[in-house]
Structure 1
Amino acid sequence: MTDTRTQSIDTDDKAVLRALDDLDLPALTAAVRPLSAAQIVGILERLDRKQRAVLYRVLPKGQALEVFENLDPSLQGDLVGGLQDDAVATLFAQMHPDDRVELLDELPATVARRLLQGLPPREREITADILGYPQGSIGRRMSPEFVSVRPEMTIRHALERVTERLSDAETVYTLPVTDGQRVLVGVVSLRDLLRADPDATVESVMQPATWARVGERAEEAARRCADRKLLAVPVVDNETRLVGILTVDDALRILEAAESEDQARISGSEPLRRPYFTAPVSGLVRSRVVWLLVLAIGATLTVQVLEVFEATLSQVVTLALFVPLLIGTGGNTGNQAATTVTRALALGDVRTRDLFKVMFREFRVGCALGLILGSLAFVVTSLLYGPSIGTVIGLTFVSLCTMAATVGGVMPLLARAVRADPAVFSNPFISTFVDATGLLIYFLIARTVLGI
């Protein structure tokens, strides 16, 4: 059954692409009509800017907004440039305020200003409030469209309030409970309201609230929402007054973006911030070239070390055979530690104050790995090149793995301590550092053991 559905989707995609190539609008309209919003989004992500605008224009009005809201903000920005001003203004006014702010961040200032001015006064005020919070804070990603209830309300009154606000609220499954000064005092779920006595008060069924400060990092608030499996998290100001709400779908989007950014930087490139096929080749080049240049410059340290020990290599040429193996193993060991600790930082399992705990733990892990690999290397190398070379390689593995794991575990914590991105200090820079330092350790051990 799955295979049949997949084939059907592929056929629909081909029909849409064929109609676009022929600029056959009636055929395009017919091909799009049976598709879901998710399928249309998938097609739009693989089209160029002109084709994307053409396809979007033939969508039914009701489906157009759903498709637009499911696009990445970068693609929304591209699409705005291909639509008429009146169509853009209508879409913009229908968006949720938090989604609207994401789109504004992707648009040129003049276009963003024009769209804001075209909003109804109330919507413009709400959007401006969100724009006033710092970039990267949860205030920029929260929704100000929520339903709150009072603790003294009856259940019947609270449900009536929910019903009245169904059309404009971001979510009604988790309801913040506030006092007369909008101070958050708890939360109540819609499920609890529906099964409670209609004449009971909200206070009798509400629960303590897990909340986020409006200025805290969006990723931290989203992680808390996901870890505690909450449908929504109230967002409060410094006086604990309710200003917005973070829903679980927005939290997952924030975490997905953060994960993509970390993975890109760990691998030595900048995040694309848009689907792969919509990114121009020049954008792909820019996302990688700076890192490659930085790493190439860093690799000159390795060349310098080889130059210093050129005489040692000339006396025992066999040593050169093991250079790729050793620096590769050292880099991989450091990368494993850095990736593990960076992930633990993101999940909140590790804090910067745990620096020495992590250092000691990774020291032991590296030492154990070095003893395992070093013992194996000693046996194999001794059989092939003699016990003296085997001793050099075995001791180097022990020293190199211990050093690489310790440095790899500590670097992300140091990055977080100086308010830098831990991913930036992870794999690329650690590999460069470990390559140079590992060779230094290798040749010093070789000189001592071989007496050269």
Structure 2
Amino acid sequence: MDELIRVENELNQAISAGDLLQASRLLDELNPREVTEVIERSPRAKAAVTYRLLSKSRALEVFEMLDPAVQGDLVHALRDDEVTGLFSELDPDDRAQLVDELPASVAQRLMLGLSAKDRAITTAILGYRSGSVGRRMSPEYVHAHPWYTAARTLDDVRAKAADAETIYTIPVTNDVKRLVGIVSLREVLASDPDATIGELMSEPEYALATDSAEEAARTCADHEYLALPIVDSETRLLGILTVDDAHQILRDAEAEDVARAGGSEPLRRPYLSTSIFSIARSRVVWLLVLAVSALLTVQVLEIFEATLEQKVVLALFIPLLTGTGGNTGSQAATTITRALAVGDVRTSDVWLVLLREVRVGTMLGLLLGSLGFVLAALVYDVPTGAVIGLTLLCVCAMAATVGGAMPLLAKTIHVDPAVFSTPFITTFCDATGLLIYFTIAKAILQI
């Protein structure tokens, strides 16, 4: 890592000084993955210069590794003939992702530069909605029929290996392309050359092209499949989702959830190559929403202004109570969102989840409330300690229940559970917690 940082710094200095020969020598010291990291961390203009210094063979390899948004930036900086060559060399699913990052006029020009076969394949992928696995599948695969022998299948693998996305998992189809089985290359290699694929194949697991890409990727990753067949509504084979693409989909989904849980929209490109305006835009909407929702807390404080005037010490505990409620709700929301993502919890489990979270929240409230009661009673008086203790108990139970329910509600109405982000739940628990606090205080302290 230290060596990469050194080379990157020297490369930036060489490009800034206009010493392109030295910059080219420095790039030769890096492998394609390291060059990709350097380009994705560079501003657009410098990234384009760096890319142009690569040899033709390395340039294609690096381009395929780049984030689609960065690929889109480079397309604008390269000559038409360079772009056309790169676009035609990409896999069809990678082409589809790049098209999503380009203006319609540029995308159309690149599509017209493809061969009729490549254009038809890419257009078919683009026909599926964004977010579906059909948009991320590869239509380039090796398949077999049940009546094929192992020897013939191996001949097909050798003939198509150069163009196929993967050869290690081989879907088996009938004469009308319906998926009937799956066989691994290992099984074919280890079998008798005259054995039929029908004897070797096993029951296939698959996903519909219209299914969520994240759900299909989760199936592929959880079962450790090297590739998952993708079919249409009549189980006709359309393509495959490879394990590396599945892991990339899951990484993208996790990055999106983390961003939204933190109260912002996910960046669509590496951080250092994202403009300041784009970063600000990704955050400002949520900040405005949260600022407006925080007015609930202000309204609650205004309602109980007279109560605070009679017992000023109550104001000292507001940060403790609101912070505890917000953190408890956030913990529950994060746990349930993760459980939904990995399939541990379904929306039909709502009552089980709520019952568990009420119990968890009550247990946490008893522990924190007991501690709060003792400390407040020692420093102030027993009635004040009772108010703090009971409030912590009620707030923890309420916040855990709300935090657990929000992701399930989001899933039910087909909204990303991460949209009900941590700041949103925190704001809700703040306002509700204050209502509980002042209600208990008025009842116990008779104010």
* TM-score of the superposed pair, with normalisation by structure 2: 0.99
Q: State which of 119, 122, 143 in structure 2 corresponds to 1:148.
A: 143
Question: Which residue number in structure 1 is paired with residue 41 of structure 2?
Answer: 46
Please give the alpha-carbon distance, in whole angstroms, between the structure 2 residues aligned to 1:346 and 1:10.
36
Gaps of at least 5 residues in structure 1 are: 1-5
Question: Which residue number in structure 2 is paired with residue 199 of structure 1?
Answer: 194
- Aligned: 1:225 with 2:202: no
Please give the alpha-carbon distance, in whole angstroms, between the structure 2 residues aligned to 1:154 and 1:280.
56
Preserved CA contact (<8 Å) 2:263 2:421: no
- In structure 1, the residue corresponding to 2:122 is in which secondary structure? helix
- Aligned: 1:272 with 2:267: yes
Q: State which of 276, 288, 292 in structure 1 corresponds to 2:287.
A: 292
Question: Which residue number in structure 2 is paired with residue 112 of structure 1?
Answer: 107
Q: State which of 406, 414, 419 in structure 2 corresponds to 1:411.
A: 406
- Aligned: 1:80 with 2:102: no
Which residue identity is paired with 1:131? Answer: L
- Aligned: 1:365 with 2:354: no
Which residue identity is paired with 2:117? Answer: R
Q: 1:363-386, CA deviations, whole angstroms, 9 ceiling, x for partnerless residues?
A: 110010000100111111111111
Alpha-carbon distance, 1:199 to partner: 1.1
Question: Which residue number in structure 1 is paired with residue 328 of structure 2?
Answer: 333
Question: Which residue number in structure 1 is paired with residue 175 of structure 2?
Answer: 180
Q: 1:186-210, CA deviations, whole angstroms, 9 ceiling, x for partnerless residues?
A: 1111111111111111112212111
- Aligned: 1:139 with 2:104: no
* TM-score of the superposed pair, with normalisation by structure 1: 0.98
Q: State which of 171, 190, 202 in structure 1 corresponds to 2:166.
A: 171
Q: 1:258-316, CA deviations, whole angstroms, 9 ceiling, x for partnerless residues?
A: 00000000000000011110111111111111111111110111000001001100000
Question: Which residue number in structure 1 is paired with residue 206 of structure 2?
Answer: 211
Question: Which residue number in structure 2 is paired with residue 93 of structure 1?
Answer: 88
Preserved CA contact (<8 Å) 1:374 1:397: yes
Please give the alpha-carbon distance, in whole angstroms, between the structure 2 residues aligned to 1:15 and 1:414.
52
Question: Which residue number in structure 2 is paired with residue 3 of structure 1?
Answer: none
Alpha-carbon distance, 1:30 to partner: 1.3
Preserved CA contact (<8 Å) 1:411 1:426: no
Which residue identity is paired with 2:59? Answer: A
How many pairs are equivalent? 447
- In structure 2, the residue corresponding to 1:148 is in which secondary structure? coil
Question: Which residue number in structure 1 is paired with residue 348 of structure 2?
Answer: 353
Please give the alpha-carbon distance, in whole angstroms, between the structure 2 residues aligned to 1:10 and 1:437.
49
Kindly report structure 1 stretches of 4+ aligned residues shifted beyond 6 Å: none
Please give the alpha-carbon distance, in whole angstroms, between the structure 2 residues aligned to 1:326 and 1:15.
52
Please give the alpha-carbon distance, in whole angstroms, between the structure 2 residues aligned to 1:330 and 1:51.
47
Which residue identity is paired with 1:330? Answer: G
Please give the alpha-carbon distance, in whole angstroms, between the structure 2 residues aligned to 1:278 and 1:218.
26
- Aligned: 1:390 with 2:390: no
Instruction: State, as a whole percentage, how many aligned pairs show the same letter.
Output: 57
- Aligned: 1:15 with 2:10: yes
- In structure 2, the residue corresponding to 1:215 is in which secondary structure? coil
Please give the alpha-carbon distance, in whole angstroms, between the structure 2 residues aligned to 1:245 and 1:91.
23
Question: Which residue number in structure 2 is paired with residue 71 of structure 1?
Answer: 66
Alpha-carbon distance, 1:10 to partner: 2.6
Q: State which of 431, 435, 440 in structure 2 corresponds to 1:445.
A: 440
- In structure 1, the residue corresponding to 2:114 is in which secondary structure? coil
- Aligned: 1:421 with 2:440: no
Question: Which residue number in structure 1 is paired with residue 56 of structure 2?
Answer: 61
Q: 1:126-158, CA deviations, whole angstroms, 9 ceiling, x for partnerless residues?
A: 000000011110000000000100111110000
Question: Which residue number in structure 2 is paired with residue 161 of structure 1?
Answer: 156
Which residue identity is paired with 2:380? Answer: Y
Q: 1:92-111, CA deviations, whole angstroms, 9 ceiling, x for partnerless residues?
A: 00000000000000000000
Which residue identity is paired with 1:337? Answer: A
Aligned alpha-carbon RMSD (Å): 0.8
Which deviates further from its counterpart, 24-33 or 336-345?
Answer: 24-33
Alpha-carbon distance, 1:7 to partner: 3.4
Please give the alpha-carbon distance, in whole angstroms, between the structure 2 residues aligned to 1:432 and 1:15.
47
